[in-house]
């Protein structure tokens, strides 16, 4: 069974394992506690009781910063990252968060493709943003206004 639920304390240990498998500079269990705080929102994709993917953001007023998105290597290419990212985007749309932004390694083609498919566009670059190895970040944003305009173009409404 696959389900999308709010990320909680009970997911932190498995999320830290996924971090270690996916990133050269992984978040620790202590760092991942941030996702359970009041200023954060995060979703977990559970597959047969295992944490398969998660995504989290911090929001201030009408802006959200996406801070983690990852899928366990055993569960990649099954639409689970798209599902947790979609849950975050829906949450943002329903809770007055107008602009979502994120950073991604410029070489991370799979993640950039995922974000594009969720309506994010490239907004700029931050040189030397990442370490291990040092790499430029591509900054991507999604605004509710821009998505509404895209949908109106598709349906022919103005």
- Minimum distance, C-beta of residue 110 to ligand COA, in the bound complex (Å): 3
- Active site includes 115? yes
Question: Does residue 86 interact with ligand COA by CB under 6 A?
Answer: no
* Residue in 3, 14, 38, 115 annotated catalytic: 115
Shortest CA distance to 19 belongs to which of 7, 6, 28?
28
* Residue in 3, 103, 129, 130 annotated catalytic: 103
Query: β-strand 99-105 against 63-71: which pairing, if any?
Result: parallel
For residue 8, the SS3 value is coil
Longest dimension (CA), the chain: 49
- Active site includes 103? yes
The nearer residue to ligand COA, 1 or 61, going by C-beta atoms, is 1
- Minimum distance, C-beta of residue 156 to ligand COA, in the bound complex (Å): 26
CA angle 140, 121, 18 (to 5 degrees): 50
Subset of residues 65 to 84 that bind ligand COA, contact rule: CB under 6 A: 69-71, 76-82
């Amino acid at each position: 069974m696959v389900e999308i639920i709010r990320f909680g304390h009970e997911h932190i240990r498995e999320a830290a394992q996924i971090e270690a498998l996916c990133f050269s500079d992984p978040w620790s269990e202590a760092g991942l506690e941030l996702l359970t705080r009041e200023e954060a929102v995060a979703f977990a994709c559970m597959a047969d009781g295992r944490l398969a993917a998660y995504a989290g953001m911090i929001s201030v007023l009408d802006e959200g910063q996406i801070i983690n998105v990852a899928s366990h290597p055993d569960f990649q290419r099954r639409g689970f990252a798209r599902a947790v990212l979609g849950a975050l985007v829906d949450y943002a749309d329903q809770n007055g968060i107008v602009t979502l932004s994120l950073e991604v390694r410029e070489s991370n083609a799979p993640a950039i493709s995922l974000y594009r498919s969720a309506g994010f566009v490239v907004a700029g670059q931050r040189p030397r943003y990442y370490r291990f190895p040092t790499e430029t970040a591509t900054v991507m944003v999604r605004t509710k206004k821009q998505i509404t305009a895209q949908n109106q173009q598709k349906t022919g409404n103005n």
